[in-house]
Amino acid sequence: MYRSLYTNRRSFIKKMAVLSAMTAAAGMFPGIVFAEEQERGIPTDANLDWKKAPCRFCGVGCGVLVGTENGRAVAVKGDPKSPVNKGLCCVKGYHSIMALYGKDRLTKPLVKKNGTYVETSMEEALDLVASKMKETIADHGKDAVSIYGSGQWTIPDGYVASKLFKGCIGTNNVEANARLCMATAVTGFLTSFGLDEPMGCYEDIDHANTFVLWGNNMAEMHPVLFSRLLDQRLRRGAKIIDFATRTTRTSMAADKSILFNPQTDLAVANAICHEIVNNGWVNTEFVKEHCNFSKGLTQMGYGLEDHYKFTDKPESITFEDYKAFLADYAPEKVARLAGVSVKDIKYLAAHFGDPNKKVMSLWCMGMNQHSRGTWINNLVYNIHLLTGKISSPGNSPFSLTGQPSACGTVREVGTLTHKLPHGVVMNKEHREFAAKIWGVPVENIPAKPTYHTVEMFRALDRGDIRFMWIQVTNPMVTMPKLKRYRDGAKKEGRFIVVSDIYPTPTTDIADVILPSAMWIEREGLYGNSERRTQYFEQMLEPPGEAMSDTWQLVEVAKRLGYEKQFHYGRESHIEEIYNEYRKHHEGKKHNMAPLEVLKSQPGALWPYVDGKSTKWRFNAKYDPACSNGKDFHFYGKKDGKAVIWQRPYEPAAEEPDSEYPFWLGTGRVVEHWHTGSMTRRIPVLHQAMPHSYVELNPGDAKRMQIRTGDKVRLTTRRGKIVLPASVNERGVPAPMQVFVPFFDENMLINDITLDSFCPISKEPDYKKCAVKVEKA
C-alpha cells in the first residue's frame, strides 16, 4: 500500500550516511545553511548594511546581524559565525529592533515640577541631578545617595557607575537588578569554588549525554540554547530530563519530566548524593585530590525583617560526617516530602552515577530565586564534584543567566555593594588595587558593604537613602512585595532619577527622567553566561536628546568635580573605559580579550590568555592558570580544592496553610522579556501574548468552576490582584499551585509576592509564597 519511511533499510542507512556527512559539514560551518536560507526571504532590492552585535535580550548572548538602511534598523538575522547560536535566534531576537521604534519613546529629559513633568534640555537635567546629589551628600551624608543599575548595563555603564560611587563619592551604595536574579549563582560559585561564573561553556552541550534541567523552562526562557539540546538529541540521542515544579513546554519536549514539591529540590539533590555515595559511584580519586567537605550554619531565617544580617560560618567536616548526614536523605525518606517517587530519584542518580555518561546540569531562576538558593547551588555542585563530572567537555554544572550582561557587568565589573571590579571591598589589598587604577585615594572606598537591593529599597522607604539613580531597569515592576517599596519611593524628601527608553511604572515615580540611547544606538559591550565578552558598535543615531547611560554618568561625574577620573573623550570613551577596566582583570585567571579582538569576532571567553579563549576553567588541559601539576586545580580556593557542602533541607519562608492554601510562583513566557517594557512594544510579540494570566491546575479549576478567561482573585498577606485564568494553555501547575508571569505592568503580580530572600545571596524568592485563590 504505502512506503514507510523505514521499510527500506538500505536506503535508510544510506540516508543516514548522507545526513551524517551533512551534519559534519554543518559542524564545520555551523548554522550557515540556515542563515542563507533566511536571506533568500529578504527582498533583492534591499541594500542593507549588516553589522554584528550581541542580542539585546537574555543572557544566552546570541550573535545577531542587524541590517540598517537609511539610518534605521530594518532587519535582523542570526550571526552564522557566532558559536553561541550558529545563525539561529528566537522570536524576541528576530524582532528586537522593533523595540527601538515604539511611539512613546522617551526623547527629552523630563523634570517633575509641581506634580507634572516638564521637558528640559539634557544640560539642565544633568545639572539638576548633580546638584541634587551634592545637596543630599551635604545634608544626609555619602550613604544617602545610591545607584541601582542592571544586568542590561553595558560593561562601560557599570564600570563608570562603580568608579563614581565607590571610588569617587565614597559609598558602597551600588546595586543592580542582577541581585534579583544572579546573586545566588555568584554565592554558589564563591562558596563551592572561590571564583564566580561557570567553569564550562556552551560547547559542553555538544558533548553531554544527559541534560538535567533543574526548575528551568529552557524551551521558553533560553530557546536558542534549548534548540542546541534538541539538536544533540536528534543527532546523538542525548537525553533531556526536566526536573521542575510545573509542567511546561520544556516538560513536553523532554524525554522525562519529573515534578517535585516547591523547595524540596534541596532534599532530592541530597538524595541523589546519598545514592551516589551508597552505590559506590563516587569518583574517589577526584574527591580525594580536589575536594574538601564543609558545613555551614543552618536555620538562618529568611530576611523578612529590616536590618536583617547573616554571615555564614563554614566549618570543616570529614567524608564520614558527610556520609552520616546523607543517611537522612535516603530516597525512601525523601520521596514523600518531595512528591517524587523513589524510582525517579534513583533514575536521576543513575544518570549522574553512570561513569560512562557525561552530564550537564542547567538551571536559572528556579534555583536562584530560592530562599535557600545558595544551598541548592552548592548541592548541585556536590553531585558533580562527587562524581568528578565537572570542568571537562560535556561534564558541566551550568548556571544560565537572564540578562545580556548580568555576568559581563554586574558580576565581572562588580556592581554590587560588596564588590569591586577585582575582589571585594572588605579586602584591603583589593581596595588598594582598585584605587590605584581609578586614581583615587584608597580611603575613598569604604571597607564595609552597605545595602543589598531589597535592603536598599527598605532604606529608601525608611529615609536612610534619599537619592536614588535607577538605570536600565524597572524595579517598580520587579521588586517583591512591591507596594511597600513603591510607597517608600514616593515619600516626601526622596529624589529619584530614572534613565530609560520608555515610560514604565519606574519612570512614574521619578523626579527626573533621562532618555537613554538603547543598545545599538550607542557603542558598548555585554558579557554572557559562558564568560563571553561581546562588542557592538553604534549603528544608529539615538532619538532626540537620548544619551547613553555611560555618558550620562560621565557628565554627572564631571559636574561633581571628578574631571580627573572621568577625562574620557566623547568619541573614544568606550575604548578608553574598556582598556582601563581590563587592568583590573590582568593575569591568567581573568584576563579580558583586547578590544580589537572583540571587534573582529563574535566575542571571546575570558580568561583570554596568549590570544586564546579558555573553554574549561580549572582543567589543566585547557586552563593555563592551573599550576598545581595535577589534572584539575580549583585555584579559587587557597588549597586548590573545591568544597562539597553539607546543606540540609529547610522549608520556605511562607508555605501554604488553611487560610492561604495555594503556592504562588511567578516567571516568564517566551514572547516577553522581563517586564515587557521593550517586547510589549513589538507588535508581533504583543499580539501573541497580550496580557498576563494566572495558570491553574485543571483539577483545581474544575473544582472551583473556573474556565480560561474567567476572572480569578489572588490574595496573599500582602494584598490582592485579579487576573484572567489560564487552564491547560501554556503551562500546567501541579495541584494547589498557581503560576503568574510578571511581564504585565497592568497586572503587577509582585504587589502580592513575598520579599523573603536567601540569607547568603540576599536574592528574593519569587517562586514561593502562600496564596488564596477565588473566582472573582
Partner 1 sequence: MKRIGIISLFALLFAGFLINWLYSYEKGREGAYISISDAKDPPTILSESAVFERSGFALEYVDMPVDAQHQRTLDDYYKNRAYPGAPPSIPHPVKEKRSMGGKVCLQCHQNGGFVEKFKAYAPVTPHPAMVNCKQCHVEQQTQAYFIDTDFYKKPAPAVGTNNALPGSPPVIPHQLQMRENCLSCHAGPAAVKELRVTHPERINCRQCHVPKEHQFETVERFVRANTMSND
The answer to whether 15 and 22 have CB atoms below 8 angstroms apart is no
Our finding on whether 97 is near partner 1 (CB under 8 A) is yes
Closest contact distance (angstroms) between CB of 154 and partner 1 is 24
Our finding on whether 56 is near partner 1 (CB under 8 A) is no
The residue (of 177 and 646) whose beta carbon lies closer to partner 1 is 177
Closest contact distance (angstroms) between CB of 122 and partner 1 is 24
Amino acid in the structure at residue 138: A
Say whether 403 is catalytic.
Answer: yes
Our finding on whether 279 is near partner 1 (CB under 8 A) is no
Our finding on whether 259 is near partner 1 (CB under 8 A) is yes
The residue (of 177 and 726) whose beta carbon lies closer to partner 1 is 726
Residues ≥6 apart with Cβ < 8 Å to 431: 420, 425, 442, 445, 447
Q: Which long-range contacts (CB under 8 A, 24 or more apart) does 698-702 make?
A: 698/727, 698/728, 698/732, 699/735, 700/662, 700/735, 700/736, 700/773, 701/725, 701/727
Closest contact distance (angstroms) between CB of 352 and partner 1 is 19
Q: Among residues 690, 702, 711, 774, which is the contact residue for partner 1, using CB under 8 A?
A: 690
Say whether 182 is catalytic.
Answer: yes
- What is the x/- site pattern for partner 1, positions 11-30, by CB under 8 A? ----x--xx--x--------
By CB under 8 A, the count of residues binding partner 1 is 96
Say whether 221 is catalytic.
Answer: no
43 preceded by cis ω (within 30°)?
Answer: no
Say whether 365 is catalytic.
Answer: yes
Closest contact distance (angstroms) between CB of 18 and partner 1 is 7
- The strands making up 467-471's β-sheet, listed across from edge to edge, are 116-119, 110-113, 512-515, 495-500, 467-471, 145-149, 174-176
The residue (of 593 and 732) whose beta carbon lies closer to partner 1 is 732
The answer to whether 608 and 614 have CB atoms below 8 angstroms apart is yes
Q: Output the nine-digit C-alpha cell for 728.
A: 491547560
> Among positive and negative, which fits the CA dihedral 222, 228, 231, 232?
negative
Q: How far apart are CA 322 and CA 278, in angstroms?
A: 12
Give, as ranges, the residues between 489 and 548 that touch partner 1 (CB under 8 A).
503, 505, 508
Say whether 296 is catalytic.
Answer: no
Task: Please state whether 303 falls in left (phi above 0), alpha (psi between -120 and 50) or beta.
Answer: left
Single out the catalytic residue among 188, 402, 408, 414. 402
The residue (of 133 and 479) whose beta carbon lies closer to partner 1 is 479
Say whether 92 is catalytic.
Answer: yes
Q: Among residues 441, 572, 683, 703, which is the contact residue for partner 1, using CB under 8 A?
A: 683
Single out the catalytic residue among 52, 92, 132, 481. 92
Alpha helical stretches, state H, 676-722: 683-688, 698-703
Our finding on whether 661 is near partner 1 (CB under 8 A) is no
The answer to whether 199 and 617 have CB atoms below 8 angstroms apart is yes
CB neighbours of residue 435 within 10 Å: 18
At 377 the three-state DSSP class reads helix
Residue of 461, 457, 427 lying closest to 442 (CA atoms): 427
The answer to whether 162 and 415 have CB atoms below 8 angstroms apart is yes
Our finding on whether 46 is near partner 1 (CB under 8 A) is yes
Q: Among residues 67, 393, 446, 602, which is the contact residue for partner 1, using CB under 8 A?
A: 67
Give, as ranges, the residues between 229 and 248 that touch partner 1 (CB under 8 A).
230-231, 234-235, 247-248
Q: How far apart are CA 425 and CA 431, in angstroms?
A: 6
Our finding on whether 275 is near partner 1 (CB under 8 A) is no
The residue (of 251 and 382) whose beta carbon lies closer to partner 1 is 251
Q: How far apart are CA 336 and CA 339, in angstroms?
A: 5
Closest contact distance (angstroms) between CB of 462 and partner 1 is 20
Our finding on whether 484 is near partner 1 (CB under 8 A) is no
**Span of 112-120, 204-212, 249-257, 643-651 interacting with partner 1 by CB under 8 A:** 249-257
The residue (of 157 and 344) whose beta carbon lies closer to partner 1 is 344
Our finding on whether 335 is near partner 1 (CB under 8 A) is yes
Single out the catalytic residue among 181, 201, 300, 360. 181
* Ordered DSSP codes for 118-176: EE--HHHHHHHHHHHHHHHHHHH-GGGEEEEE-TTS-HHHHHHHHIIIIIII----EEE
Our finding on whether 736 is near partner 1 (CB under 8 A) is no
Closest contact distance (angstroms) between CB of 560 and partner 1 is 32
Our finding on whether 327 is near partner 1 (CB under 8 A) is no
Our finding on whether 219 is near partner 1 (CB under 8 A) is yes
Residue of 717, 666, 764 lying closest to 304 (CA atoms): 764
Active site residues: 92, 181-182, 365, 402-403
